[in-house]
A = this chain, B = another copy of it.
Amino acid sequence: MGLMSTSVERLSGSAKLLRAMNTSAVLAHLLSRGPLTRSDIRELTGLSKPTTSEVLRTLVSADLAIVTGHTSGGPGPNAEIYATNPDGAYAAALSVRETGRQPEVALAVTDLSGATRARHERVVGLDVAEPADALVKALHSVCRDAGLAPDRIRHTHLGVPGSYDPTTDAIHHVDVPGLGRAGLVSRLRRRLGATVEVDNDVNLAAIAERRHGVARGADAFALLWIDYGLGLAIDLGGTLLRGSRGGAGEIGYMPLGLPGARTLLRDAPDLHSVLAGPAVVALAAQHGVRATDPAAAVKAGGAAFLAALAQRVAIAAATVVAVLDPSLIVLAGTVGRAGGDRLRDATTVALRASGPLEATIATTGVTDDPVLLGAIDAGLERVREDLIRSVQHNHRQ
């Protein structure tokens, strides 16, 4: 509504455009639906036999598609099975974790089919003259493991505990020393000679949750990340909401109550002070649980502690529901994951008690590193979109 410039309605052109559209449509289907025969493609696109053949010839000669096999069993000749060429493009994923000590970096290289070719996890010192170079070095090392020349990486997706502002070319709200350096991303781009995209770690976790976790098939959901810090990712039917300055989901700053009100904790003006890692540890201590790690505290805590924690989670959940009305709220981060079914159930109860707002609460279903998985998915998606677009542009005019 409002904006009418959805490109579909405005597209205009001649026969060349048609060829471009058909080629990219076939590529898109091959990318999303896996290996397909000619007749599969014909059914999906509605194109005729000669056109389908012609388009596939184009894709094969552009090294974007290959014949992976033949059907058998049915009557008639065996149909060729086409798939995208796994070696048609590669993407790298890079997740920088904030651990208190040296930053940990997880890296992976995947091919166009989504198969992980190599994966590393290592400590990388970023508090150096050129933090970008340290990341590039780590990336080169993974490429060596994958048996790939670094310049074959078409796109790198970087996950960071902060938000990237493209206008200032700096990563904000980040505690990792060196990572907030202005110009880091553009230096990365120059050094790698490829596109680099930066995303918030919680947003990436939400992407992984939609792809591999409990949010599969959800229309819209919010992911509440509880760890040392707090975060919220908002997924609207597969599109992440990032906000005007990339600051959407910074719910740690959410105010609690009117100024001057006496809240349960003294000096608890915002959600961060009652729900982030330190607050969880402090709450656990109040209930006689001694632990320095918030996730360990949650695992060790009893029912009373969990109920108290759930009340705080419910505050966050209720606010999100009041503003966005997602159908699902996923609890994630080390605390969310450690809470498991117990925290989920307690939060559901607390949310119901707090008012008429309704939403399903779930615990994250991603067991592997969610940020790295999300970075892989997002990077792969970006590469695929680029390929589809490039096919369209090659044939235009």
A→B interface (CB under 8 Å): 1-4, 7-15, 17-18, 21-22, 24-26, 28-29, 31-32, 45-47, 207, 210-211, 219-220, 232, 234-264, 269-271, 274, 311-312, 315, 318-327, 353-358, 377-378, 381-382, 384-385, 388
> How many copies of the shown chain assemble into the complex?
2
For residue A251, which residues in chain B have a CB less than 8 angstroms away from its CB? 322-323
| B47 near A12: Cβ-Cβ < 8 Å | yes
User: How far is the CB of A212 from the nearest CB of chain B, in Å?
Assistant: 12
Query: Once the chains are docked, how many angstroms separate the CA of A22 from the CA of B12?
Result: 5
| B354 near A255: Cβ-Cβ < 8 Å | yes
Query: Once the chains are docked, how many angstroms separate the CA of A235 from the CA of B220?
Result: 16
| A318 near B255: Cβ-Cβ < 8 Å | yes
Query: Once the chains are docked, how many angstroms separate the CA of A178 from the CA of B129?
Result: 69
| A4 near B31: Cβ-Cβ < 8 Å | yes
Name which residue of chain B comes closest to A328, CB basis: B244
| B355 near A1: Cβ-Cβ < 8 Å | no
**Known contacts A237-B3, A251-B323, A324-B323, A21 near B12 by CB under 8 Å:** yes
Query: Once the chains are docked, how many angstroms separate the CA of A230 from the CA of B224?
Result: 26
| A324 near B248: Cβ-Cβ < 8 Å | yes
User: How far is the CB of A325 from the nearest CB of chain B, in Å?
Assistant: 3
Query: CB < 8 Å: which of B243, B253, B323, B385 contacts A232?
Result: B323
Query: Once the chains are docked, how many angstroms separate the CA of A11 from the CA of B31?
Result: 15
Name which residue of chain B comes closest to A52, CB basis: B12
Query: Once the chains are docked, how many angstroms separate the CA of A271 from the CA of B258?
Result: 10
Name which residue of chain B comes closest to A248, CB basis: B325
**Known contacts A1-B207, A254-B319, A261 near B263 by CB under 8 Å:** yes
**Known contacts A11-B8, A17-B18, A258-B274, A381 near B238 by CB under 8 Å:** no
**Known contacts A18-B13, A18-B18, A250-B325, A3 near B239 by CB under 8 Å:** yes
Query: CB < 8 Å: which of B31, B325, B377, B388 contacts A243?
Result: B325
| B207 near A254: Cβ-Cβ < 8 Å | no
| A236 near B241: Cβ-Cβ < 8 Å | yes
| B254 near A261: Cβ-Cβ < 8 Å | no
| A323 near B355: Cβ-Cβ < 8 Å | no
For residue A31, which residues in chain B have a CB less than 8 angstroms away from its CB? 4
**Known contacts A244-B219, A253-B356, A259 near B311 by CB under 8 Å:** yes
Query: CB < 8 Å: which of B238, B239, B248, B322 contacts A253?
Result: B322
Q: What are 29 A-B pairs with beta-carbon distances under 8 A?
A: A1-B207, A1-B381, A2-B207, A2-B210, A4-B32, A4-B384, A10-B25, A10-B28, A10-B29, A12-B21, A12-B25, A14-B18, A17-B18, A219-B244, A234-B324, A243-B326, A244-B325, A245-B325, A245-B327, A245-B358, A246-B325, A249-B323, A252-B322, A253-B318, A253-B321, A257-B258, A258-B263, A269-B354, A323-B323
For residue A207, which residues in chain B have a CB less than 8 angstroms away from its CB? 1-2
For residue A388, which residues in chain B have a CB less than 8 angstroms away from its CB? 9
Name which residue of chain B comes closest to A21, CB basis: B11
Query: Once the chains are docked, how many angstroms separate the CA of A218 from the CA of B311?
Result: 37
| B255 near A1: Cβ-Cβ < 8 Å | no
From A9, A241, A256, residue with most partner B Cβ within 10 Å? A9
